[in-house]
Structure 1
Amino acid sequence: MSAAREYGLDDEYAWPRPPAGGWTADDLDELPNLPPHTELIDGSLVFVSPQTTFHMRTVRLLDTSLFDRAPDEFDVYREFTVTLGDRNRLEPDVLVTRAGADTGPKRTRLLPEDVILVVEVVSEESVERDRDAKPRKYAQAGIRHFWRVEESDGLPVVYVYELDPATRSYAPTGIFHKQLKLDRPFPIDIDLTAIDRRGPQA
């Protein structure tokens, strides 16, 4: 039996056909020919559209800024999956984790208990997922901090949320336009107008 047929793929087109009950988080490591950054939501594969320059530059700004500012007990990942359950494996644009979450160079995913902050930069094709489905799942998994980033006049606007542990849902704590200044999960001060600027930010 071909590898494609073994995993429910059509030999001619190589499009995934889900098994009964949908795919599982483990399947993302085994399925051949998946596009980069494929996610699993409620057992269904989600493919990502080509990203815009705004998305790429915003992710770069937040990734490098958080990495530069994170204390030693934290680590920062970019576009790395988190297994939230057997049928959900999401890939936030930027993540902050406990430093001890790195268990080796061949690891392909993180667990929610290791994740402190997830950041999603909204694209046109991901609006509903990033505003609704994904934050609900991150909150239910117990991830304490969530940022949603949207574009306004070419600049990022950051919507900041913190977990209410009693309801397992996110409560908004602020909207930041030109400057992102927070004291949680650690002191953060990021110039959001520096999205097009090259080199380290002060």
Structure 2
Amino acid sequence: MIGFYDYTVILTYISFASSISGIFCAITGHFRWAIFCLAFSGLCDMFDGKIARTKKDRTREEKSFGIQIDSLCDVVCFGAFPIVLCYSLGMKHIYSMIILIFYGLAGVIRLGFFNVLAEEDDAAKKDVKPCYHGLPITSMAVALPLAYLLSPLLHGFFIIVLHIMVLVIAILFVTDFKFRKPTNKELSLIVGIVAIAVLGVLFRWDRRVGL
């Protein structure tokens, strides 16, 4: 069989499977479970790199494969999946679709740029950089669940907020600024916040909004 099969890519594949499941949920109107799948994919992505780096005897081919497969899955998990979800939530106007297309393109450009830097660092045998260039594409797995959780408070303004949020995040994907990678404590805090948001989405009492 082609490819590399070890524990270093398991979380990446689980994240991909979760996002495909989330797409099914989104197009059938099960938005709460779609949000759950998005957040779960983001959770997997937060730790897949850390797990991969625990394997010290990886060959250069295995490392390169890991970089490529991670980005390819990210295109689906945090590029295509949020586009389908946001469209299903109401971003269906012409200007909405333009924003979603820009979001997808910006995400692909950001991931392509990341791959170039990662390959250069690997060839030069440099350590993992402490900062991201631009906003990580995984950020949508945090922003969208939080926005959806607050949708009962936003009432009719939720769709407006959704448009603005997607556009701003897309711009930040391709803006050249350094974004410090979170420490383990900060990562745990982010995971906790997202977990609370997801639980709030799944079990919130206010079901009057049609989302």
Question: Whose helix fraction is larger, Structure 1's or Structure 2's?
Answer: 2
TM-score when normalising by structure 1: 0.27
TM-score when normalising by structure 2: 0.26
